[in-house]
Amino acid sequence: MPDLMPPRRERLEILGEVNSPSFVPWIKRHSGRLGLEASAFSVAPGRIGVTVAGQPDLIDALEVGCLLGPIDVWVSAIDRAPVADLI
């Protein structure tokens, strides 16, 4: 079994036509399926921010999933930045 990388906390800023009411619940659900902790949501026109914590590969997977997202959003870009080490 491969060694797990240390968990990480990152801020994702999801940009585009993202203000459908379905998107935040979708992100929460998808984060949960990936075993990530999602918190501190912020919503502004053309932007959703979320802080996620967990395995780096799974944060990558959340980014990949969000790039497509639900049918009623169009994600043009996702900016990622580390928040702070968990350990």
Partner 1 sequence: MIDAWYPVGLISGLTREGRETLLMEQPITVRAGKTGKPEVVTADGRSLPIVERFGHVWTSLGTPEKDLFTIPEADHPERVLVDVGVVRVKCSPLRAVENFLDIAHFPFVHTDILGAEPHTEVEKYDVKIREEEDEVWATKVKFFQPQAAKSAEEGITTEYMYRVPSPTSSVLYKTCPPRPGEWDVICLFVQPLTETLCDVWPWMALFDEDTSMTDLIHFQQLIFLQDRSILENQIPARLPLDPGMETPTRADLTSIAYRRWLKQHGYTYGAELVAQ
CB of 82 to partner 1, least distance (A): 18
**Which residue in 74, 79, 83, 86 binds partner 1 (CB under 8 A)?**
74
Number of chain residues interacting with partner 1 (CB under 8 A): 16
- 8 with 59: CB under 8 angstroms? yes
CA dist., res. 18 & res. 46, Å (int):
6
Distance (Å) of CA 34 to CA 5, 17, 57, 64: 15, 24, 10, 12
In 3D, which of 66, 50, 61, 65 has the Cα closest to residue 16?
66
x/- map, 16-55, partner 1, by CB under 8 A: ----------x--xx--xx---------------------
Our CB check for partner 1 shows the closer of 35 and 84 to be 35
Interface residue list for partner 1 (CB under 8 A): 26, 29-30, 33-34, 57, 60-61, 64-65, 67-71, 74
